[in-house]
Structure 1
Amino acid sequence: MTANQSAGVLFDVDGTLVDTTYLHSVSWWQAFRQFSHDVPMANIHRAIGMGSDKLLDHLLGSDRDRSADGKVVDGHSAHFATYWDRLRPLPGAADLVRACAARGLKVVLATSASEPEAAALRATLGVDDVLTAVTSAADAEQSKPAPDIVATALAKADLSADRVLFIGDSVWDVLAAARLDIGCVALTCGGTGRAELAGAGATAVYEDPADLLASLSESPLARLG
């Protein structure tokens, strides 16, 4: 690592910066019901953060009939799309992203959302002018907890793993970052509790973007500057 190497912050978006976790849960529940899969909502919620390639195995079992998988995934996307014009950023989300950029950090949205969904999320946040890079599902062969999307985010922004932190809201975010030896600062605004996030290995845990912003100078992010 050279002294002048850039530092950066990688942001998960769904449930971390935009209030979508429960909307995704409902959308998956509706899609499952369309194809006679009765999956409890609480189980779905705990799987949010995985991509569809992992989520279906996790919730439906790897020995299932996979013939309708594509239709279930499309069903989730269709249901979730009905919420796009009502999406809202979580408290302090845009201000946190802008504060990180103002500190000289490269800012990357490391999302595994589809490109249309990623565009809706970016429109909700309104921070494109301070972003160094953005990922989407097309950038990852496997979704979280595999580290593919995190590795792509590093490459797109020309960042080194030892000079970044990942900000996420799920256990899957923490695990994906850890596979690249990247610290993860976790937020509970996606519905996962502080103890569970810390137990998965989160470097620090805050309530939401506004809470992290209020503590920014004392947070792990302060050590990146």
Structure 2
Amino acid sequence: MTTDKGTEKIALVVLDMAGTTVVDDGLVEQAFQAAAGALGVAAGSDEHQEMLAYVRATMGESKISVFRHLFGEEEKAQRANAAFEQAYHDLVDAGHCAALPGAAEAIAELRAQGRKVVLTTGFSRATQDRILAALGWQEIADLTLCPADAGRGRPFPDLALTALLRTETDSVRQVAVVGDTGYDMLTGTRAGASVVAGVLTGAHQAERLRADGATHVLASIAELPALLAGR
């Protein structure tokens, strides 16, 4: 189906979680502190600061991929990842997990418009499920995906393309990819999505989002339903 402007109707919306629909509030960095500490990296050291800068620059990427880059050896990467997940789970269990204002309502409106919604993440399935349970979001979307479900995480196109295949969407031009990081934008552009929207509620600012391919930059996810309705 096409609009009167010759653009295909968006049938599938692929949404990031932390920073886009879920408040991040520094939880990733706090959990990284635990991961680095488990590998003997002292907080405040030059090595720690360099690693933290890399974590910030690669927000949105699969966390195990980040730790493989930082620590090299697979055994060390797995230990760091396990420490990260435990720390993040503890923060979620302690109540440090909330939906961004208007996120649940935006998802409901997108589905009411007849669009399918898929929630994606760079976290593991265990962490993603922990967040969904804490928010009561187990049924909020048509599908949820983590990197292990798709083959590769961001910035590769796998998550968006897996969402397309699993929801039986007809064309990549019917897909919108939305996130708060440059890696989300790269995922969308590499997947061929016709809408690649960055939101300013998370890790990266408008300049980074546009540099990595954003077709739109929104103040928050709350603006997305109106944007898509107006196409």
* TM-score normalised by L of structure 2: 0.83
Following superposition, the deviation at residue 5 of structure 1 comes to: 8.3
Residue 179 of structure 2 corresponds to 168
Q: Are 1:36 and 2:40 matched, yes or no?
A: yes
CA–CA separation in structure 1 for the residues paired with 2:136 and 2:215: 28
Residue 147 of structure 1 corresponds to 157
Residue 48 of structure 1 corresponds to 59
AA paired with 2:99?
P
Following superposition, the deviation at residue 2 of structure 1 comes to: 8.4
Following superposition, the deviation at residue 125 of structure 1 comes to: 4.2
Alignment counterpart, residue 88 of structure 1, candidates 89, 95, 98: 98
Alignment counterpart, residue 217 of structure 2, candidates 205, 208, 221: 205
Following superposition, the deviation at residue 190 of structure 1 comes to: 1.0
Following superposition, the deviation at residue 150 of structure 1 comes to: 1.5
Q: Are 1:78 and 2:90 matched, yes or no?
A: no
Alignment counterpart, residue 7 of structure 1, candidates 8, 11, 36: 11
Following superposition, the deviation at residue 8 of structure 1 comes to: 1.6
Alignment counterpart, residue 27 of structure 1, candidates 25, 31, 34: 31
Unaligned segments of structure 2, at least 5 residues: 42-46
121-130 vs 189-198, greater mean Cα deviation: 121-130
Change in 2 beyond 3 A, CA 1:53/1:78: closer
Residue 67 of structure 1 corresponds to 75
Following superposition, the deviation at residue 26 of structure 1 comes to: 1.7
Residue 115 of structure 2 corresponds to 105
Q: What are the Cα deviations for residues 95-135 of structure 1, in whole angstroms up to 9, with x where unaligned? A: 11011011111111123432222222223444544522221
Q: Are 1:192 and 2:200 matched, yes or no?
A: no
AA paired with 2:212?
A
Unaligned segments of structure 1, at least 5 residues: none
- Runs of 4+ in structure 1 off by over 3 angstroms are 1-6, 57-60, 64-67, 124-130
159-168 vs 33-42, greater mean Cα deviation: 33-42
The percentage of aligned residue pairs carrying the same residue is 26
CA–CA separation in structure 2 for the residues paired with 1:185 and 1:6: 13
Residue 44 of structure 2 corresponds to none
Residue 181 of structure 1 corresponds to 192
Following superposition, the deviation at residue 21 of structure 1 comes to: 6.1
Change in 2 beyond 3 A, CA 1:67/1:107: closer
CA–CA separation in structure 1 for the residues paired with 2:133 and 2:38: 30
| 1:197 alignment partner, SS class | helix
| 1:32 alignment partner, SS class | helix
CA–CA separation in structure 1 for the residues paired with 2:140 and 2:99: 16
Alignment counterpart, residue 156 of structure 1, candidates 144, 151, 166: 166
8 Å CA contact retained: 1:18, 1:124: no
8 Å CA contact retained: 1:188, 1:208: yes
* TM-score normalised by L of structure 1: 0.85
